[in-house]
Chains A and B, each alone.
Chain A
């Protein structure tokens, strides 16, 4: 049911420092408002009833995409999914990020929703998270007394749960440069184009002289959090990416997945599809690594 929003305080700090101070004073009764897609939607269904919303929309300097020719890429907390999709930097040097932003949700949701917001919602079916896992992204987290940078893989602890304290804000995503000879791919299986994933897979492979030097595979919607398929990665490392090796890695990845049955799909089908998508993702990524 959609309903009128319950009353709440709405504050609009102009610095990150001010934002975390306000958050601290509200304990766990305040929420951060960026694009508002998930937050307002859940508030309208009365699933959450925060006493205060701390909008970070008025904080200058949080809406940016900075990168140089495949080197380190930084994305600010207010950068929308649409900005990532349309960014010339990303279209030129970060194909896998463009692909994921291009296919996700609708134009309206992409125009409003931020990339960092998508990460903080912490759904295991996020399309963005697996891609950032294989790209080795790090998150900059600011709290009232300290700031730190952590690998995105250490950010999640369960369905809809992260290590973020109620008085901390993720201010930036930092992605290291792509190694020479690396290729990446993102694949997704869904009911309809606008729906979230039944299964999604992101992969990157680094190939030198025909041998796989490094492989990273991340699986979405098949465990409480997005996971790395580390056994599958181990099978690829040091090998030629032929049909047999790829098939073995795909089977291993399916083994590593622990999906559930829900309205979108069954656990059994999801497991099968992990194998199919991982095989295709490795094939596509290694094609691109050669190119």
Chain B
């Protein structure tokens, strides 16, 4: 099995880690680098979206990504959104709209929303729903989540 030191850029900071070929990006983030905001939700089937991070700006399921294949790429997790202790407009909107219940899906929801707004700053309600179709919330609070994303887009 391949075992090498590799460089990862997470939230703008470069990290060197000894990794093995069978490590997922999710395991690297949570267990090696301590970014526990990214969650494991479903049975690694790509259905729930709780493990979503951005790789070079694109929404990616970290539980189905081999860490080895994203070395040197720009990875953004939920921990990278707030700047200098000030929350990102999406995070503020989620709080203000009560778009969080248990919170487990929230990091993935916010990251998918960021991917949407980066690509389409003024989405329609339908476009928000389509962008979040891969993120499941089992507290079933979708209405407030969609409202929060639309409100953040107006900021």
Contacts and interface: CB of A to CB of B under 8 A. Distances in A.
A53 B2 CA distance: 11
Contacts of B69: 33, 36, 55, 57
Interface stretch (A19-27, A100-108, A136-144): A100-108
B47 interface: yes
Contact of A108 (B1, B60, B68): B60
Interface footprint category on A: 20 to 34
Contact of B134 (A4, A53, A105): A105
Contact of B63 (A6, A44, A106, A194): A44
Interface string A1-22: 1101111111000000000000
A33 B66 CA distance: 10
Interface stretch (B18-26, B95-103, B147-155): B18-26
Give the bracket for the number of chain B residues in contact with chain A: 35 or more
A41 interface: yes
Of A2, A8, A9, A37, the most chain B CB neighbours within 10 A belong to A2
A2 B20 CA distance: 18
Interface string A79-112: 0000000000000000000000000011111011
Interface in A158-202: 193-194
Given A4-B27, A36-B65, A44-B63, A109 B46 contact: yes
Contact of B112 (A1, A4, A107, A193): A107
Interface string B47-59: 1010010000011
Interface in B41-84: 42-47, 49, 52, 58-61, 63-66, 68-69
Given A9-B1, A107-B59, A37 B46 contact: yes
Interface of A: 1-2, 4-10, 33, 36-37, 40-41, 44-45, 53, 55, 57, 105-109, 111-112, 193-194
9 contacts: A2-B44, A9-B1, A10-B2, A36-B64, A37-B61, A41-B46, A106-B134, A112-B60, A112-B64
